[in-house]
């Protein structure tokens, strides 16, 4: 009996595993079968559809619904002499009810037909325009409100989401920005701008993997997009950094990152606003504070400090936004410096200031700081990069060195057709003052400038004093650079001198 039992048991164990094997095999066949069936269903058009009874009639429902909520009619008029009732009457509530009633009426009557959708869309586009105007004025809150309104009216347009995402980015609201970008992408899978913004947001959120994926997607969509390379480098660097210990980050690395970061953001700005290039430092500010903190950390003690020993370094505290203290920023009264007293105390105050003020103002001391460090940014590859640096550093010395590193013949490539009069004259003055002072060649620059698009337009608006300068420069070319008369007269013709 015992033997029998054990044999039976063995058999059952074997059967069970066989069953399971069969089941798996069956599953595989079934998967294929299902795929075929699905294809059939998809290809099959609705022939011979069932006759479906009509929608439950409204009247019937009204008559019989068991526990249907009968809204008590508020239509009982309150007589004008019935003061006690009027006292109890809540006007606000009544107004709200009225509004709610209207709204629900609207929504229930709305058949959401195509025409309605189109109507909504055009309305939404108006809101979008309004939002764009706010963006130009840098009123992010109002812009977000406008875009939200547009989305509420017509939630199926990717542009609304992408624009709102930009505003969130500006406000450093990275989670919302990312979510909006995702919505935009869901609506339009080929929307490069949305991917771009999501990359920026994800970088901010330190989601490097996801950011990398997005960059890949961008390269897929736009293989010749130059910015993707910058982004990719940026991600790789950051990604690497997150593995490296903080000590290993060399100063140049950090500052490089920072520059790229700025470029990225500003190029986007540029995309958004096309030709209206008002790029100034403010556009950079929202994202820069963290970077600044980093660079300060690396430099530790700036060279201009007279005393490098007894300086207390205050480390920045990096906290995610939700952990930030809710208390208002501490005000630090700035005292008039007494020059008779030792210098040290004053510096301490400055240091404190820098740490305490996490607002945009931190940028200002920082700028000087960078100027002092005299780091020349790399050779620009497009007009935006050039403009950022040009506007940022106004000293002639810097501009001279910045121009100096640009190889001849590349100016037209950098600018293409986005040169502006003030930049043009700025370059000319730099050439005249700095280059000539240092006896550097300027002819190649003048030639390059003449090859820029819309050059003739700039020449038309040139002032008399600048014409004088130009004449001076040409004679300088002739004398010190030994350029042949022919070439100079050729160029002079172009400059209409």
Partner 1 sequence: MDELSKPQIICHIEKSVDYSLFDAKWIPCSAKFVVMGSRPRGTGIIQIYEVSSGELKLVKNIERSNQIKCGTFKASSLRDRYLATGDFKGKLNIYNLEDPSIPVYSADAHTQIINAIDGVAGASIGCGAPELVTGSRDGSVKVWDPRQKNRPVAVMEPKEGESRRDCWSVGFGNSYNSEERVVAAGYDNGDVKMFDLRAMSLRWESNLKNGVCGLEFDRKDIPMNKLVATTLESKFYLFDLKTQHPKKGFAYLVEKAHKSTVWLVKHLPQNRELFATCGGGGTICLWKYNYPEKRKVTDADGIEEGIMGNISLLQNCTLSSQPISSLDWSPDKQGLAICTSFDQCLRVIITTKLNTY
Q: Which is nearer to partner 1, 183 or 257 (CB)?
A: 183
Q: Which of residues 26-45 bind partner 1 (CB under 8 A)?
A: 27-28, 30-31, 34-35, 37-38, 41-42, 44
Residue 72 binds to partner 1 (criterion: CB under 8 A): yes
Residue 19 binds to partner 1 (criterion: CB under 8 A): yes
Residue 323 binds to partner 1 (criterion: CB under 8 A): no
Q: Which of residues 79-108 bind partner 1 (CB under 8 A)?
A: 107-108
* CA 286 to mean position of chain CA atoms: 10
Among 1, 48, 52, 309, binds partner 1 (CB under 8 A): 52
Is there a contact between 258 and 291 (Cβ–Cβ < 8 Å)?
Answer: yes
Q: Which is nearer to partner 1, 109 or 315 (CB)?
A: 109
φ/ψ of residue 314, rounded to 5: -100, 115
The contacts of residue 272 (CB under 8 Å, 6+ apart) are 135, 166
**Contact window for partner 1 (CB under 8 A) among 54-62, 219-227, 235-243, 358-366:** 54-62
Nearest-angstrom CA–CA distance, 164 and 75: 43
Among 1, 48, 67, 77, binds partner 1 (CB under 8 A): 67
Closest CA to 157 of 182, 190, 139, 184: 184
Is there a contact between 191 and 184 (Cβ–Cβ < 8 Å)?
Answer: yes
Nearest distance, CB of residue 413 and partner 1, angstroms? 41
The helices-and-strands tally (H runs, E runs) of the chain is 25, 0
Among 77, 92, 111, 407, binds partner 1 (CB under 8 A): 111
Nearest distance, CB of residue 348 and partner 1, angstroms? 42
Among 1, 2, 48, 55, binds partner 1 (CB under 8 A): 55
Q: Which of residues 246-305 bind partner 1 (CB under 8 A)?
A: none
Residues in contact with partner 1, counted by CB under 8 A, come to a total of 53
Nearest distance, CB of residue 140 and partner 1, angstroms? 21
Among 125, 145, 187, 249, binds partner 1 (CB under 8 A): 187
Alpha helix ranges (H) inside 244-343:
251-273, 281-284, 288-299
Q: Which is nearer to partner 1, 60 or 438 (CB)?
A: 60
Instruction: For 239-274, give one letter per residue: b (16+ CB within 10 A) or e.
Output: eebeeeeeeebeeeebbbbbbbbbbbbbbbbbeeee
Q: Which is nearer to partner 1, 176 or 429 (CB)?
A: 176
Q: Which is nearer to partner 1, 70 or 339 (CB)?
A: 70
Nearest-angstrom CA–CA distance, 325 and 287: 19
Nearest-angstrom CA–CA distance, 491 and 493: 5
DSSP secondary structure letters along 98-140:
HHHHHHHHHHHH----HHHHHHHHHHHHHHHHHHHHHHHTT-H
Nearest distance, CB of residue 77 and partner 1, angstroms? 21
Length of the chain, please? 497
Q: Which is nearer to partner 1, 178 or 227 (CB)?
A: 178
**Contact window for partner 1 (CB under 8 A) among 5-13, 310-318, 366-374, 399-407:** 5-13
Map 305-323 to HEC letters.
Answer: CCCCCCCCCCCCCCCCHHH
Q: Which is nearer to partner 1, 213 or 298 (CB)?
A: 213
Nearest distance, CB of residue 55 and partner 1, angstroms? 5
Closest CA to 179 of 157, 204, 155, 162: 162
Residue 340 binds to partner 1 (criterion: CB under 8 A): no
Instruction: For 139-160, give one letter per residue: b (16+ CB within 10 A) or e.
Output: ebebbbbbbebbbebbeebbbb
Nearest distance, CB of residue 232 and partner 1, angstroms? 24
Give SS3 for 190: coil
Nearest distance, CB of residue 290 and partner 1, angstroms? 21
Among 1, 2, 24, 321, binds partner 1 (CB under 8 A): 24
Nearest-angstrom CA–CA distance, 81 and 91: 17
Contact pattern for partner 1 over residues 160 through 179, marking x by CB under 8 A: ---------------x---x
**Contact window for partner 1 (CB under 8 A) among 180-188, 194-202, 311-319, 339-347:** 180-188
Radius of gyration of the chain from its Cα atoms, rounded to whole angstroms: 35
CB atoms within 10 A of CB 373: 14
Nearest distance, CB of residue 61 and partner 1, angstroms? 6
Positions touching partner 1 (CB under 8 A) are: 5, 8-9, 12-13, 16, 19-20, 23-24, 27-28, 30-31, 34-35, 37-38, 41-42, 44, 46, 50, 52-56, 60-61, 63-72, 107-108, 110-112, 155-156, 175, 179, 182-183, 186-187
């Amino acid at each position: 009996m015992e033997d029998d039992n054990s044999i039976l048991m063995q058999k059952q164990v074997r059967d069970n595993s066989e069953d399971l094997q069969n089941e798996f095999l069956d599953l595989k066949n079934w998967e294929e079968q299902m795929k075929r069936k699905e294809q059939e269903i998809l290809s099959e058009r609705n022939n011979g559809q069932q006759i479906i009874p009509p929608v439950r009639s409204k009247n019937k429902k009204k008559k019989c619904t068991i526990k249907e909520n009968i809204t008590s009619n508020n239509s009982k008029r309150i007589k004008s002499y019935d003061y006690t009732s009027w006292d109890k009457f809540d006007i606000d509530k009544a107004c709200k009810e009225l509004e709610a009633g209207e709204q629900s009426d609207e929504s229930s009557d709305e058949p959401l037909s195509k025409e309605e959708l189109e109507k909504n869309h055009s309305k939404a586009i108006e809101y979008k325009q309004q939002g764009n105007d706010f963006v130009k004025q840098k009123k992010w809150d109002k812009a977000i409100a406008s875009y939200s309104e547009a989305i509420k009216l017509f939630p199926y347009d990717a542009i609304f989401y992408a624009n709102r995402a930009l505003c969130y980015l500006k406000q450093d609201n990275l989670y919302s920005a990312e979510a909006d970008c995702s919505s935009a992408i869901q609506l339009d899978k080929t929307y490069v701008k949305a991917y771009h913004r999501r990359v920026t947001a994800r970088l901010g959120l330190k989601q490097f993997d996801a950011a990398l994926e997005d960059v890949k997607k961008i390269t897929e969509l736009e293989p010749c997009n130059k910015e993707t390379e910058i982004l990719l480098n940026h991600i790789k660097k950051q990604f690497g950094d997150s593995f490296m210990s903080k000590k290993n980050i060399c100063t140049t690395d950090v500052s490089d990152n920072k520059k790229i970061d700025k470029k990225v953001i500003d190029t986007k700005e540029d995309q958004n606003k096309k030709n209206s290039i008002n790029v100034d430092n403010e556009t950079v500010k929202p994202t820069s504070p963290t970077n600044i903190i980093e660079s300060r950390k690396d430099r530790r003690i700036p060279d201009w400090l007279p005393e490098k020993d007894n300086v207390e370094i205050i480390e920045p505290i990096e906290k995610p936004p939700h952990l930030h203290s809710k208390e208002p920023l501490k005000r630090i009264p700035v005292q008039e410096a007494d020059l008779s007293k030792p210098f040290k105390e004053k510096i301490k105050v400055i240091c404190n200031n820098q740490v305490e003020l996490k607002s945009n103002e931190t940028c200002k001391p920082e700028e000087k700081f960078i100027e002092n460090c005299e780091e020349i940014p790399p050779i620009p590859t497009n007009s935006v990069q050039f403009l950022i640096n040009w506007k940022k550093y106004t000293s002639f010395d810097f501009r001279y060195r910045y121009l100096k590193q640009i190889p001849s013949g590349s100016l037209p490539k950098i600018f293409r057709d986005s040169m502006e009069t003030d930049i043009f004259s700025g370059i000319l003055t730099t050439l005249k003052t700095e280059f000539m002072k240092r006896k550097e060649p300027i002819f190649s620059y003048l030639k390059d400038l003449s090859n820029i698009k819309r050059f003739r337009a700039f020449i038309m608006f040139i002032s008399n004093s600048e014409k004088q300068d130009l004449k001076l420069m040409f004679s300088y070319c002739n004398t010190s650079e030994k350029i042949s008369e022919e070439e100079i007269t050729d160029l002079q013709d172009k400059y209409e001198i």
